[in-house]
């Protein structure tokens, strides 16, 4: 019987492999940010503005649910084929999205895209775990956050460009939001197929299909209600039905995982390890605070500061600089010292402080001050995300790296979905009252009365805003004079304060959880080296 020999990868080989992995991750990261600025144009063109949320929901559901599946299956059958499959499915979904004729078709094709996206993130992190020892891993994983940072800036700019162009190469401009993924994806496939050759010793396992099916039954209704609940009403019949089916599915999932033990999709024994339990819990809370808190920054920049979607993307650059700085500094220090526990703690402290400072930003706060807080928030995230994944990967056996990485990514995504749903709901619940109060205060001032008297048409526009239509479409603000638009911006800024205060308290909980993270010695062997050496020892061929 032949055994896979430990393979030592040179720094240059690792960087080449990293190039392919980063291209795959860039696809997933860019897709999320490019859609933010293009969605309205796409929805208008496909005459489905009221259905646009389904395009987001479909992608979210399939990408979240497929993440742990990719992790588990790649542990059994090897990473390379599943990473290539994930890219292939994503390319197919992207191409079909570009051909969509209506919003329902787009939602269906976005679901196919999501099936691919679920593997791009977790498998890239797992592959790095296979080829790089934990002590060195954080250095390379910092590159991945750089990909996210670049995508978060490029996405809104490209989305605005494509959405704003009527025709590019004889087809609607917005369709290139999806077609752009095809050449990038094909290049990523070519690089990965050429350079990623990991030795894999297959171990036959039962595949946990009951766990997969009950996870789908549990999460589809819960993710759907998280996205749609604000429109349906959280206590409506449809929402309650989703809650009931979701809870039944999750109970079934726990029972299935207990029955399948170590072969489960998310083994309960794995989640009982302290490092993994802390990593999963902290990632869920981090996802809530990150997505829930940060999705309001572009809204603040566009509504309060009057930035276009493209400009708002550029104004987020300080946040990206913070993420990259935090990840690079923490990665280098982990590599030098072999200690990782301090970085998620410091990162969480930075995030707590940043969210509190965000809660103090008003309609008249200078932009440079907001940008300084963005840098602090980015430093917190950069110091938190990758060291936590390194800690979890280091704490599990080499054969469980895919499953463990998939679990952390999965729970962070779930936290993000939950945070976005809760915080958007809070924002839109407090917004009308805060805007009314701001206008009630402003009406007493001579400047406001004079501005209204000099142009009565402004009063009519104001009625539109106060009637609630202004919350669905805020473009009327650009047609109001500064004096009359200012109370609306004050009301919006005060509503955002509430969101950031909630995120602040959520992140304090995250900081408490991170204090329970144990400090384990970082292994000097990569996962595939450890697996190969363990196999040699098991047959008596290697050193005892």
pLDDT in tens, 79-109: 889 999 999 999 999 999 999 888 889 989 9
Greater model confidence, 41 or 328: 328
| β-bridge partners, 340 | none
Q: Residue 544's pLDDT is what?
A: 41
Q: Residue 290's pLDDT is what?
A: 79
Neighbours of 130 (CB within 10 A): 27
CA–CA separation, 282 and 304 (whole Å) = 32
Q: Residue 366's pLDDT is what?
A: 92
CA–CA separation, 340 and 223 (whole Å) = 33
Query: Domains (ranges, CATH) in the chain?
Result: 9-196 (1.20.1250.20), 209-264 (no CATH), 266-523 (1.20.1250.20)
Greater model confidence, 90 or 78: 90
CA–CA separation, 331 and 386 (whole Å) = 8
| β-bridge partners, 172 | 167
| β-bridge partners, 171 | 168
Share of the chain above pLDDT 70, in %: 88
Handedness of CA 213, 216, 221, 222 (dihedral sign): positive
Q: Residue 163's pLDDT is what?
A: 75
CA–CA separation, 13 and 446 (whole Å) = 70
Query: What confidence tier does 51 reach under pLDDT thresholds 50, 70, 90?
Result: low
Q: Compute the average pLDDT of residues 132-152.
A: 76
pLDDT at 410 over 90: no
With CA atoms as reference, report the closest residue to 454 among 480, 491, 487: 480
Q: Compute the average pLDDT of residues 220-245.
A: 85
pLDDT at 62 over 70: yes
pLDDT at 5 over 60: no
* Ranges 64-68, 212-216, 310-314: which has the least confidence: 310-314
Q: Residue 541's pLDDT is what?
A: 55
Cβ–Cβ < 8 Å for 54, 114: no
* Ranges 334-343, 372-381, 456-465: which has the least confidence: 456-465
CA–CA separation, 520 and 247 (whole Å) = 36
Q: Residue 7's pLDDT is what?
A: 60
Greater model confidence, 103 or 542: 103
Token pair for residue 213? 């099916």
Token pair for residue 30? 């860019």
* Ranges 95-104, 138-147, 159-168: which has the least confidence: 138-147
Q: Residue 6's pLDDT is what?
A: 54
Token pair for residue 150? 């670049």
Q: Compute the average pLDDT of residues 308-327.
A: 81
With CA atoms as reference, report the closest residue to 64 among 25, 107, 121: 121
Q: Residue 371's pLDDT is what?
A: 92
- End-to-end distance of the chain based on CA atoms, in angstroms? 19
Cα Dmax for the chain: 92
Of these ranges, 182-186, 200-204, 462-466, the one predicted with the greatest mean pLDDT is 182-186
Q: What is the dihedral of CA 296, 406, 90, 163, to 10 degrees?
A: 10
Greater model confidence, 224 or 361: 361
Query: What confidence tier does 303 reach under pLDDT thresholds 50, 70, 90?
Result: confident
Query: What confidence tier does 341 reach under pLDDT thresholds 50, 70, 90?
Result: very high
CA–CA separation, 417 and 63 (whole Å) = 12
pLDDT at 466 over 90: no
Q: Residue 506's pLDDT is what?
A: 92
Q: Angle at which helices 103-131 and 527-538 pack, to 10 degrees?
A: 60
Per DSSP, which regions of 145-298 are E strands?
A: 167-168, 171-172
| β-bridge partners, 286 | none
Task: Look up residue 204 and give its DSSP letter.
Answer: -
């Amino acid at each position: 019987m032949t055994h896979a020999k430990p393979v030592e990868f040179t720094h240059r080989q690792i960087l080449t492999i990293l190039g392919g992995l980063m291209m795959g991750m860039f696809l997933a990261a860019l897709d999320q940010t490019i859609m933010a600025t293009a969605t309205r144009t796409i929805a208008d063109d496909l005459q489905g503005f009221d259905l646009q949320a389904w395009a987001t929901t479909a992608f979210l559901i399939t990408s979240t649910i497929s993440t742990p599946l990719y992790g588990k299956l790649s542990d059994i059958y090897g990473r390379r084929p599943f990473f290539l499959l994930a890219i292939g499915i994503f390319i197919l979904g992207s191409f079909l999205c570009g051909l969509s004729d209506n919003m329902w078709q787009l939602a269906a094709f976005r679901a196919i895209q999501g099936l691919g996206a679920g593997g791009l993130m977790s498998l890239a992190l797992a592959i790095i775990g296979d080829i790089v020892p934990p002590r060195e891993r954080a250095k390379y994983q910092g590159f991945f956050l750089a990909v996210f940072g670049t995508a978060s800036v490029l996405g809104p700019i490209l989305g605005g460009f494509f959405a704003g162009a009527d025709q590019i190469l004889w087809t609607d401009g917005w369709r290139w939001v999806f077609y752009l993924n095809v050449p990038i994806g094909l290049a990523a496939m070519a690089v990965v197929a050429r350079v990623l050759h990991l030795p894999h010793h297959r171990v036959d396992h039962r595949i946990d299909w009951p766990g997969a099916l009950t996870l789908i039954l549990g999460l589809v209704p819960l993710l759907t209600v998280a996205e749609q609940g604000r429109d349906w009403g959280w206590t409506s019949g449809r929402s309650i039905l989703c809650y009931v089916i979701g809870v039944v599915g999750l109970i079934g999932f726990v029972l299935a995982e207990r029955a399948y033990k170590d072969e489960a999709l998310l083994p309960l024994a794995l989640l009982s390890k302290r490092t993994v339990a802390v990593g999963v819990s902290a990632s869920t809370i981090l996802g809530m605070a990150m997505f829930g808190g940060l999705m309001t920054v572009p809204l603040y920049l566009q509504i309060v500061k009057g930035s276009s979607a493209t400009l708002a993307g550029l104004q987020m650059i300080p946040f990206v600089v913070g993420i990259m700085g935090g990840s690079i500094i923490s990665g280098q220090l982990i590599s030098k010292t072999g200690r990782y526990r301090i970085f998620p703690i410091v990162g969480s402290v930075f995030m707590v402080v940043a969210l509190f400072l965000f809660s103090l930003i008003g309609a008249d706060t200078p932009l440079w001050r907001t940008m300084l807080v963005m840098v602090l928030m980015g430093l917190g995230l950069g110091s938190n995300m990758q060291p936590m994944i390194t800690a979890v990967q280091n704490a599990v056996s080499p054969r469980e790296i895919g499953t463990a990485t998939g679990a952390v990514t999965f729970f962070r995504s779930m936290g993000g979905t939950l945070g976005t749903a809760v915080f958007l709901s809070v924002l839109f619940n407090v917004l009308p009252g805060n805007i009314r109060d701001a206008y009630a205060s402003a009406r007493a001032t001579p400047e406001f009365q004079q501005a209204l008297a000099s142009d009565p048409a402004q009063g009519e526009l104001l009625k539109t805003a106060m009637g609630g239509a202004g919350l669905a479409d805020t473009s009327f603000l650009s047609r109001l004079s500064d004096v009359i638009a200012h109370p609306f911006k004050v009301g919006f800024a005060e509503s955002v304060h509430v969101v950031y205060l909630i995120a602040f308290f959520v992140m304090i909980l995250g900081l408490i959880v991170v204090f329970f993270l144990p400090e384990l010695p970082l292994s000097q062997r990569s996962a595939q080296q450890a697996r190969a050496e363990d196999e040699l020892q098991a047959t008596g061929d290697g050193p005892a």
